[in-house]
Amino acid sequence: MRMSKTLSKVKLPYLLLLPGFLFLFTFFILPILNLAQTSTQTPIAGGDTGEYEQTLRFANYIDAFIENREQFARSFIFAICATLLALAIAYPLAYAIAFKAGRFKNILLVLIIAPFFTSFLLRTVAWKQILGEEGFVVPPLRTFGIISESTTLTSTSFAVVLGMTYNFLPFMTLPLYASLERIDPRTMEASGDLYANGITTFRRVTLPLSMPGVVAGTLLTFIPAAGDYVNAAILGNPNSKMLGNVIESRFFKIVDYPTAAALSFTLMAAILILVTLYIRKAGTEELV
Res 286: pLDDT:
46
Q: Residue 251, class by beta-carbon neighbours within 10 Å (0-12 exposed, 13-18 middle, 19+ buried)?
A: middle
Res 246: pLDDT:
94
Domains of the chain: 68-287 (1.10.3720.10)
Res 34: pLDDT:
92
Q: What is the 3-state secondary structure (H, E, C) of 73-119?
A: HHHHHHHHHHHHHHHHHHHHHHHHHHHCCHHHHHHHHHHHHHHHHCC
Res 288: pLDDT:
41
SS3 call for 194: coil
Model confidence over 161-197: pLDDT tens digits? 999 999 999 999 999 999 999 988 888 878 877 777 8
Strand-pairing partners, residue 41, are 54
3-state SS of the chain: helix, strand, coil percent to 5?
75, 0, 20
Res 149: pLDDT:
81
| Cα(1)–Cα(11) distance, integer angstroms | 16
Res 12: pLDDT:
74
Low-confidence ranges of the chain (pLDDT < 50): 285-288
| Residue of 194, 120, 131, 129 lying closest to 158 (CA atoms) | 131
Res 255: pLDDT:
86
Res 22: pLDDT:
93
- 243-252 vs 257-282: helix axis angle to the nearest 10? 150
In single-letter form, the type of residue at position 6 comes to: T
Res 192: pLDDT:
77
Res 186: pLDDT:
83
Res 6: pLDDT:
62
In single-letter form, the type of residue at position 81 comes to: C
